[in-house]
Amino acid sequence: MKISLLSEDAVRVEPTGDQMTVEADSPDRQFSPFHMLAAGLGYCTWSVLYSWAEHASLPAERLAVEVRWSFAEDPHRVGAMTMKIDWPDLPPARQAAAKRAAALCAVHATLHHPPTIDVELGA
């Protein structure tokens, strides 16, 4: 799996073999917590779609997911995310089903129904 840092507000997740890599177009680009959040959503979505494709006997070797985000303020946070499913081999008749399958990602559900977060300090 390869996670490509496309910009300060975008990542791409795509299969590349057995190893997971994080790549950037510049050595100055850092793998920020926001990239990590988006990569988690993208990888989860990719995994669900790949599994669905195997079950439906659909080719998914060129399946990739891009995630972009924008910020909101008060407090500073990710305000919106957009996922683009890049799947050149997906038959047009299966696109609506693929979109429904993508929504089954547990990270997607977590972001739609955020958990409570408790902060504890160690001893």
**DSSP, res 57:** T
Is residue 57 a part of any domain in this protein? Answer: yes
Is residue 23 a part of any domain in this protein? Answer: yes
Structural domain that includes position 79: 2-112
pLDDT of res. 116: 97
* 89-115 pLDDT per residue, tens: 999 999 999 999 999 999 999 999 999
Is residue 69 a part of any domain in this protein? Answer: yes
pLDDT of res. 17: 80
Is residue 103 a part of any domain in this protein? Answer: yes
Q: How much is the mean pLDDT over the chain?
A: 96
Task: Name the more confident of 25 and 10.
Answer: 10
Q: Own/partner pairs for 31-38, CB < 8 Å, 24+ apart?
A: 31/5, 32/8, 34/9, 34/69, 34/78, 35/3, 35/5, 35/11, 37/69, 37/78, 38/10, 38/11, 38/67, 38/68, 38/69, 38/81
Is residue 81 a part of any domain in this protein? Answer: yes
Is residue 94 a part of any domain in this protein? Answer: yes
Is residue 122 a part of any domain in this protein? Answer: no
Domain count, the chain: 1
* 31-82 pLDDT per residue, tens: 999 999 999 999 999 999 999 999 999 999 999 999 999 999 999 999 999 9
pTM above 0.85, yes or no: yes
CATH of the domain at 35: 3.30.300.20
Is residue 120 a part of any domain in this protein? Answer: no
The residue whose two tokens read 């669905």 is 52
